């Protein structure tokens, strides 16, 4: 007679019937067990009561198998997942990237949620040959239970609770932040043991006696001698939904990072041990880790202390990272932004090719450059990676011919000049972000007709009188778009363009995406859909960085969105503002986040789920058509 140790989920807060469980699984749980098992709690201090089922019930046997599968799934997704060999199907020996385990026996096999002619379906064959003993399978990574009789996925509340407890226990057992020999002597922010909340053990507390505090990342920053550029960019990074989801979920823990800084523990740079003579410092001075700095910054922004915070160690780390940023002088906010992303990329976990670090997951996109020969119409294309879009002002403005917010109707009104209708009943044309994007993507001539050599075409050879037309378009849209409006003009004399650019709170990027990309993977779309959902091209404004003053002597501030509110962040002053005030700023940098992040591939399946009137739960369990709101902190890891 075997004995199995199981982890039991906490008692339900309210006595009610679990309506989320299918009748077939409910019948299995209440059936008699083949081998009586003994239910015990893993930790007596964990406040996890034993199951209410009788020892002769099948429930504890099924829950034990469920825990075993979920525990394996937690290990395979951990830090050593690349060293974990994918399991093989017990029937066809195929290596399974997404294995399914039988809930009542040790069998592991193939189970396509959406059946196709080429998909293997070994799990159903196992069910058919089990004479009714087996009819359920569980997904190790999500705890989803598939019922063969319902032919559908089911998510019982009791198994959801059990899944959560098992995953938390596995995370606690693999927490190394307090182990000796690591950064800060193994005294990091190790997580405490999780305990289930039992309302019967809680002391009754009146709501009026409970102190409430808002959990939002608003904190003023100290100006460390002309470091307003750092303050403005840091505020925009802190309020970036994808970065917030990454760092607040402890994806980078500075206490266990091998590149962690000793200076972070004391709040000032570690300059190294003094030499014997005391005349200087040693060679062990720290260069710092930008990911650790961001981890520290998020912790500072989201704690109860709302006094001004000085990011001293971050400034010191960036001095070491970029010689252009070193010193106490005023620096360009855009240069600091790119240098910060480069350092996050250097210290975050990623790959050498097709990098999946958090900087590239958030900001990486690509541009398609198409060059067409005027003689033979041959088009050559080049794809270049980008982290932001740098938009030039129209030539007439960059030369100083227009400094007001509205241009006379006698001037150029071409879309290539970036103009749009003026607001508020004004006459003439006004510079708009959409117009600057149209100008950015507009065709331009390469070469001169008077050039003796002409354009060198790879197909016809080109020659005298042959020119080419070059056009840029966006090949891949990043989850977060960063725009730099190039206000600093460097021609015969350096100057700053003060012209106001009208920008929207919601931006549609569909017109600027390569047409071939926008219609790719749509041959299998259902209902004759000829375009992707609008939500994949819609972006919402969440941060604006503004510069005031001259080129070599000015001031930066940021306006950021926190929830549905806008806040004006000017170094050590953080005050509420309005969207209309934000849109009136003469912006230098703009940050937009995609309204909806799609995790489904290929796009044809996303189309199928967004155009069908009723979603099939089977397809949903395979994440086809699932979207998550970026503003709510969703991640695309």
Mention every residue, 6+ apart, whose C-beta is less than 8 A from residue 524. 602, 604
**Average pLDDT of 524-538?**
60
Q: pLDDT tier at 624 (50, 70, 90 boundaries)?
A: very low
Residue whose C-alpha is closest to residue 440's, from 484, 470, 472: 472
**Average pLDDT of 605-619?**
41
**Span 216-356 CATH architecture:** Alpha-Beta Complex (3.90)
Whole-number pLDDT of residue 419? 61
Mention every residue, 6+ apart, whose C-beta is less than 8 A from residue 118. none
Q: How far is CA 242 from the centre of its chain?
A: 3
Within 13 Å, how many C-alpha atoms sit on residue 315's CB side? 24
- Percent of the chain having pLDDT more than 70? 62
The reported pTM is 0.62
Torsion sign (Cα): 598, 602, 605, 607: positive
DSSP, residue by residue, 296-321: HHHHHHTSS--S-B--HHHHHHHHHH
- Among 30-34, 157-161, 260-264, 576-580, top mean pLDDT goes to 576-580
Residue 558, SS3 per DSSP: strand
Give the count of beta carbons closer than 10 Å to the beta carbon of residue 468: 22
Whole-number pLDDT of residue 326? 67
In angstroms, the Cα distances linking 121 to 70, 146, 401, 575 are 22, 13, 70, 59
- Among 171-175, 409-413, 630-634, top mean pLDDT goes to 171-175
- pLDDT over 80 at 106, yes or no: yes
294 vs 206: which has the higher pLDDT: 294
- pLDDT over 70 at 408, yes or no: no
H or E element that contains 162: helix 157-173
Q: pLDDT tier at 131 (50, 70, 90 boundaries)?
A: confident
Residue whose C-alpha is closest to residue 7's, from 76, 60, 84, 72: 60
Q: Give the phi and the psi of residue 153 in degrees, each rounded to 5.
A: -85, 145
Q: How far is CA 475 from the centre of its chain?
A: 19
- What are residue 597's DSSP bridge partners? 628
Q: pLDDT tier at 141 (50, 70, 90 boundaries)?
A: confident
Whole-number pLDDT of residue 111? 87
C-alpha 508/C-alpha 515 separation (Å) is: 15
Q: pLDDT tier at 284 (50, 70, 90 boundaries)?
A: very low
C-alpha 565/C-alpha 477 separation (Å) is: 26
Topology agreement, domain 216-356 and domain 361-595: yes
**Span 23-173 CATH architecture:** 2-Layer Sandwich (3.30)
Could you state, in order of their start, the residue ranges of all structural domains in the chain?
A: 23-173, 216-356, 361-595
| Per CATH, domain 361-595 is 3.90.70.10 | yes
- What are residue 367's DSSP bridge partners? 384, 474
Write the burial class of residue 609 (CB in 10 Å: 0-12 exposed, 13-18 middle, 19+ buried). buried
pLDDT tens digits, 191-227: 566 666 666 655 566 666 666 666 778 899 998 888 8
Residue with tokens 């360009």: 332
Write the burial class of residue 529 (CB in 10 Å: 0-12 exposed, 13-18 middle, 19+ buried). middle
pLDDT tens digits, 536-590: 899 999 999 999 988 777 899 999 999 889 999 999 999 999 999 999 999 999 9
Whole-number pLDDT of residue 420? 61
Residue with tokens 């650019």: 501
Helix residue ranges per DSSP H, 323-460: 333-347, 358-363, 395-398, 433-441
With b for 16 or more beta-carbon neighbours within 10 A and e for fewer, the 91-109 pattern comes to: beeeebeebbbbbbeebbb
C-alpha 609/C-alpha 321 separation (Å) is: 46
C-alpha 421/C-alpha 591 separation (Å) is: 23
Return the minimum-mean-pLDDT range out of 97-111, 128-142, 253-267, 277-291.
Answer: 277-291
The conformational region for residue 614 under phi > 0 = left, psi -120 to 50 = alpha, else beta, is beta
C-alpha 38/C-alpha 20 separation (Å) is: 26
Cα angle 36-68-175, degrees, rounded to a multiple of 5: 130
Mention every residue, 6+ apart, whose C-beta is less than 8 A from residue 536. 477, 594, 596, 598
**Average pLDDT of 417-421?**
59
């Amino acid at each position: 007679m075997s004995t199995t140790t199981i982890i039991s989920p906490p008692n339900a807060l309210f006595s009610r019937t679990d309506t989320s469980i299918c009748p077939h699984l409910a019948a299995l749980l209440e059936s008699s067990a083949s081998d009586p098992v003994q239910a015990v709690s893993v930790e007596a201090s964990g406040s996890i009561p034993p199951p209410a089922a009788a020892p002769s019930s099948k429930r504890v046997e099924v829950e034990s198998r469920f825990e075993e599968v979920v525990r394996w799934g937690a290990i395979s997704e951990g830090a050593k997942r690349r060293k974990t060999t994918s399991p093989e199907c017990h029937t066809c020996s195929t290596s399974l990237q997404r294995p399914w385990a039988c809930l009542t026996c040790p069998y592991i096999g193939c189970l396509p949620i959406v059946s196709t002619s080429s998909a293997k379906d070994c799990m159903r064959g196992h069910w058919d040959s089990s004479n009714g003993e087996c009819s359920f399978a569980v997904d190790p990574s999500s705890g989803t239970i598939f019922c063969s009789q319902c032919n559908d996925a089911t998510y019982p509340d009791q198994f959801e609770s059990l899944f959560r407890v098992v995953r938390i226990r596995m995370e606690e057992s693999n927490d190394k932040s307090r182990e000796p020999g690591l950064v800060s002597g193994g005294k990091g922010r190790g997580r405490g043991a999780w305990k289930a909340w039992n309302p019967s053990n809680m002391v009754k507390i009146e709501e009026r006696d409970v102190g409430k505090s808002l959990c939002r990342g608003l904190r003023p920053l100290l100006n460390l001698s002309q470091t307003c550029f750092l303050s403005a960019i840091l505020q925009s990074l802190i309020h970036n939904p994808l970065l917030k989801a990454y760092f607040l979920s402890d994806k980078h823990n500075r206490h266990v990072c091998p590149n962690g800084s000793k200076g972070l523990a004391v709040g000032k740079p570690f300059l190294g041990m003094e030499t014997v003579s005391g005349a200087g410092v040693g060679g062990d001075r720290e260069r710092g880790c930008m990911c650790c700095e961001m981890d520290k910054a998020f912790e500072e922004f989201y704690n109860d202390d709302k006094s001004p915070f000085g990011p001293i160690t971050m400034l010191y780390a960036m001095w070491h990272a970029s010689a252009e940023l070193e010193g106490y002088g005023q620096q360009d906010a855009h240069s600091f932004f790119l240098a910060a992303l480069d350092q996050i990329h250097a210290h975050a976990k990623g790959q050498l090719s097709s990098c999946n670090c958090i900087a590239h997951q958030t900001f990486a996109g690509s541009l398609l450059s198409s060059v067409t020969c005027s003689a033979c119409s041959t088009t050559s294309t080049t794809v270049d990676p980008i982290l932001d879009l740098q938009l030039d002002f129209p030539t007439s403005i960059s030369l100083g011919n227009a400094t007001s917010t509205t241009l006379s109707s006698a001037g150029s009104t071409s879309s290539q000049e970036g103009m749009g209708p003026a607001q508020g009943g004004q006459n003439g044309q006004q510079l708009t972000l959409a117009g600057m994007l149209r100008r950015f993507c507009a065709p331009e001539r390469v070469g001169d007709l008077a050039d003796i050599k002409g354009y060198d075409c790879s197909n016809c050879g080109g020659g005298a009188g042959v020119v080419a037309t070059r056009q840029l378009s966006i090949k891949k849209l990043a989850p977060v778009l960063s725009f730099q409006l190039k206000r600093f003009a460097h021609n015969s004399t350096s100057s700053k363009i003060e012209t106001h650019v009208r920008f929207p709170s919601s931006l549609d990027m569909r017109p600027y995406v390569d047409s071939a990309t926008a219609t790719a993977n749509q041959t299998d779309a259902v209902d004759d859909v000829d375009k992707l959902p609008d939500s994949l091209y819609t972006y919402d404004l969440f941060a604006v960085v503004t510069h005031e003053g001259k080129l070599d002597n000015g001031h930066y501030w940021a306006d950021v969105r926190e929830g549905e509110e806008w806040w004006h962040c000017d170094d050590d002053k953080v005050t509420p503002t309005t969207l209309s005030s934000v849109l009136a700023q003469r912006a230098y940098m703009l940050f937009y986040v995609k309204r909806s992040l799609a995790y489904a591939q290929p796009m044809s399946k996303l189309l199928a789920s967004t155009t069908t009137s009723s979603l099939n739960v089977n397809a949903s369990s395979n994440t086809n058509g699932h979207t998550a709101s970026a503003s709510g902190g969703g991640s695309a890891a």
